[in-house]
């Protein structure tokens, strides 16, 4: 993936972060996923007064991409203060549609600071239904 494509995905995650709904934690997160056909879909965290119902930005982005017809994801950018890596639940959710996807973690306060890894590094053994 070239630098321009990475930058575009990062910009999408940063913009999505500006739409985060996080009045309880005040921790704003944006995410963007890239599908194999080049389509970018974004998402932001959406909290709820019933805290446990909160949706992480990554899962919002993946659900939106899949609902729009994408099934194969090749990269994720996630933007938050300090840069964060996806939580465990999101790793499992992401792995369904791209177990080896590139993961770009962006510090929203300093968007040139990006750390790069892959989902199989972060989450080498996703759960799969046996026989599937």
Active site residue 100: no
Helix (H) / strand (E) element for 12: namely helix 3-17
Q: Which of 12, 29, 74, 106 binds ligand THU (CB under 6 A)?
A: 29
Q: Is residue 54 close enough to count as binding ligand THU by CB under 6 A? A: yes
**Of the two residues 51 and 69, which places its CB atom closer to ligand THU in the complex?**
51
Q: Is residue 103 close enough to count as binding ligand THU by CB under 6 A? A: no
CB atoms within 10 A of CB 114: 16
Q: How far apart are the C-alpha atoms of 93 and 103, rounded to whole Å?
A: 14
Of the listed 26, 36, 47, 58, which one is catalytic? 58
C-alpha of 47 from chain center: 16
**Of the two residues 86 and 98, which places its CB atom closer to ligand THU in the complex?**
86
* Long-range contacts, stretch 123-127, CB < 8 angstroms, 24+ apart: 123/88, 123/91, 123/92, 123/94, 123/95, 123/99, 126/91, 126/92, 126/95, 126/96, 126/99, 127/92
Q: How far is the CB of 2 from ligand THU (least distance, A)?
A: 25
Q: Is 102 helix (H, G, I), strand (E, B) or coil?
A: strand
Q: Which of 86, 101, 102, 108 binds ligand THU (CB under 6 A)?
A: 86
Q: Is residue 27 close enough to count as binding ligand THU by CB under 6 A? A: yes
Q: Is residue 104 close enough to count as binding ligand THU by CB under 6 A? A: no
Interface residues toward ligand THU, by CB under 6 A: 22, 25, 27, 29, 45, 47, 54, 56-58, 84, 86-87, 90
Catalytic residues, by residue number, are 58
């Amino acid at each position: 993936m070239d630098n321009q494509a990475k930058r575009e995905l990062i910009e999408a995650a940063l913009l999505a972060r500006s739409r985060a709904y996080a009045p309880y934690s005040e921790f704003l997160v944006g995410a963007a996923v890239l599908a194999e056909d080049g389509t970018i879909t974004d998402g932001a965290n959406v909290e709820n007064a019933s805290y446990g119902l909160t949706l992480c930005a990554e899962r919002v982005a993946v659900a939106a991409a899949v609902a729009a017809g994408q099934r194969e994801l090749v990269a994720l950018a996630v933007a938050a203060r300090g840069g964060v890596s996806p939580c465990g639940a999101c790793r499992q959710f992401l792995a369904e549609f791209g177990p080896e996807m590139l993961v770009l973690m962006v510090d929203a306060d300093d968007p040139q600071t990006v750390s790069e890894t892959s989902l199989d590094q972060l989450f080498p053994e996703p759960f799969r239904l046996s026989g599937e």
